[in-house]
Amino acid sequence: MSTFLRFPAVSARVALKKSAVYKRIAEGTFPAPVLLSARCAVWPEDEIDAWMQAQIEAAQPAPRPVPGPTDPAGSSRASRAAKARPQYRPAPVAILVSA
C-alpha cells in the first residue's frame, strides 16, 4: 500500500520546484495530484517512485555494439584509425629529359 505525499515531500524527492512540477503536469510528463479536498492535493508515493525510475532509465545511454569477428573494422584502435583517414601519397611527377 502506497502512502500519500504532500507537495513539499514531492518537491524534495524529485528535486523540482513548484513551477517545474506543475509545468510537467500540464505537459503530461509528471503524475497529476489526487485531490482529497478543494485545498488538499497529494501524490501517491508509488507513482512518484515510478516517475523517478522512468527518468533514470531514460537518461541511460543506449548500449554500444561490441565489435565481433564479423566486424570488418576489427577491434584494434590502430586498424580503425587507419580506415578512418586515407594514406598520404605524393602525386606522380613527370621527369622531362632534354637531349
pLDDT tens sequence across 20-79? 999 999 999 999 999 999 999 999 999 999 999 999 999 988 778 877 666 555 555 655
Flag whether pLDDT at 82 surpasses 80.
Answer: no
Report the range of poorest mean pLDDT among 4-8, 16-20, 67-71, 92-96.
67-71
pLDDT value at residue 60:
86
pLDDT value at residue 91:
72
Neighbours of 94 (CB within 10 A): 4
Burial of 41 (0-12, 13-18, 19+ CB in 10 A): middle
pLDDT value at residue 96:
73
- The 8-class DSSP code of residue 15 comes to T
Flag whether pLDDT at 99 surpasses 90.
Answer: no
